[in-house]
Amino acid sequence: MARIVGGIFTSHVPAIGGAIAKGAQDTPYWKPFFDGFPPVRQWLRDARPDVAVVFYNDHGLNFFLDKMPTFAIGAAPEYRNADEGWGIPQVPAFRGEEDLSWHLIESLVAEDFDIVTCQEMKVDHALTLPFSLLWPDERWPVTVVPVCINTVLFPLPSARRCLALGRAVGRAVENWAGDARVLVIGSGGLSHQLEGQRAGHINKAFDLAFMDSLAKDPAWATQYSINDLAKEAGTQGIELLNWLAARGALADVARELHRNYHIPISNTAAATMLFES
Ligand code: DHB
Ligand code: FE
């Protein structure tokens, strides 16, 4: 049986890609963020995952406003990045883990989740930046299953539904034949709002409570409606749904090994967490 070895959660502000391209990781602006990663990379060297299941949201590269699935899973042999207009250099393609993709899709549909299956799929900065942060040499040692959650176009799935999706993914992974070591990644957040009168909104107290809840009480965020989550975390901070789903995929009891929280990167409260199942 496959085994989930742990989960890594990180913000994916596009400017991170620019900082990597410029080699600015050690400048005063960027160092507090990039300093969150060496302990995570050390853990990865010991954990040696074979596959990464990545919970993230697409920002208009693969899905646009005309067609926006609530939940979509990639089932492609390969995933490519493309120019999103941020000026981030493109990264090498990711090898898909097709057998796990189909296993997840079949398991989730059998559990009454209505999944969009993507046999072709581009992946944007929300998937590529976590990889560049975890494996700076950009030689990806894992294959990938992208799990895309709509956090960009209302109506959004509830926190309760995202947690349930993640838990169903976790059960399905553990039923996958073979002995692969599977890493779960949650990408996005934490509090930020990029548009409107509240642009620049950051809520440190809420972010810290959310991070604490992932260890102590993973269902904590499900007490909030989507509108209340957007009020607390910002209309883009709602990307915490990806973290919540990824947390759901880990065992109910998971150990927090490391965290980093820094304000601001761009207009975002940037956070990183590592959990071991
Ligand atoms: C920005 C974009 C994002 O997708 C995000 O999650 C955070 C910040 C930005 O444009 O600054
Ligand atoms: Fe984003």
Cα angle 125-111-68, degrees, rounded to a multiple of 5: 35
Which residue type, as a one-letter code, is found at position 150?
N
Is residue 103 among the annotated active site residues? no
| pLDDT above 90 (res 87) | no
State whether residue 148 is helix, strand or coil.
strand
Give whole-number Cα distances, 32 to 242, 261, 272, in Å.
23, 8, 11
**Candidates 9, 10, 13: which one to mutate for ligand 1, based on the most atoms within 8 Å of Cβ?**
13
| Residue 103 Cβ < 6 Å to ligand 1 | no
pLDDT at 69 over 90: yes
**Which helix (H) or strand (E) covers residue 232, if one does?**
helix 226-233
Distance CA 78, CA 91 (A): 13
DSSP notation for 157-177? PPHHHHHHHHHHHHHHHHTSS
pLDDT in tens, 110-168: 999 999 999 999 999 999 999 999 999 999 999 999 999 999 999 999 999 999 999 99
**Which atom of ligand 1 lies at the shortest distance from residue 266's CA?**
11
What is the CATH topology of the domain spanning 3-276? Protocatechuate 4,5-dioxygenase; Chain B (3.40.830)
- Provide the residue ranges of all domains of the chain, joining segments of one domain with +: 3-276
Q: Which atom of ligand 1 is nearest to the CA of 189?
A: 6
Which pLDDT tens digit goes with each residue over 195-211?
999 999 999 999 999 99
**pTM recorded for the entire structure:** 0.98
